[in-house]
Amino acid sequence: MKIDMFEMDKTALMVIDVQGRLAQMMHRKKFLIEQIQIMIHAAKLLDLPIFWLEQYPQGLGETVDEIKQLMQDIKPYEKISFSSCGQQQLLTDLRSSGRSQLIVTGIESHVCVYQTVLDLLDGQFQVAVNQDAVSSRTKANKNLGMARMQQAGATITSTEMVLFELMRTAEHPSFKQISKLLK
């Protein structure tokens, strides 16, 4: 199976359900939050659209402040289905964005991230799951989610790998800023 390189004009970032107390229970929580922050900063530098999801915020709480503060100019999509694709407005907006490649971040890798990725693949999107920027409450569930998404056809990537893939060259106008984010 040929894997296409991710390209800036085809790519968007998705941030799924990094909310409330659940976010505080994630395996390697601090690292997870830092990696999602880097991805949001980089998406803005690279002019990638960001699709931000919240699972039933009235019950689970809002997105954690460290991430929410970086997306004040974006409105979250509220959902009750585990898959983000159950949110019809999201699907409409994804299609109208013209973006066919999605970098997925968020929680939990074996539930909402997993189900979203399967539905995105079903919808003919190319999906890269950033292993640095997804998690579950246990390492075992994170690993299971990652394995199942890869078996389904998702590309597994890392923060550094996908950002350098998008820029392609050290001559990219955002190279120095992105490099600083990664240090």
User: What residues are annotated to the active site?
Assistant: 17, 79, 112
Cross-sheet strand order for the sheet of 50-55: 77-79, 50-55, 11-16, 101-107, 126-135, 155-157
Q: What is the longest distance spanned by two Cα atoms in the chain?
A: 46
Please state, in angstroms and rounded to a whole number, the distance separating the CA atoms of residues 19 and 24: 8
Which has the closest alpha carbon to 129: 137, 112, 140, 138?
112
Which has the closest alpha carbon to 120: 165, 157, 90?
90
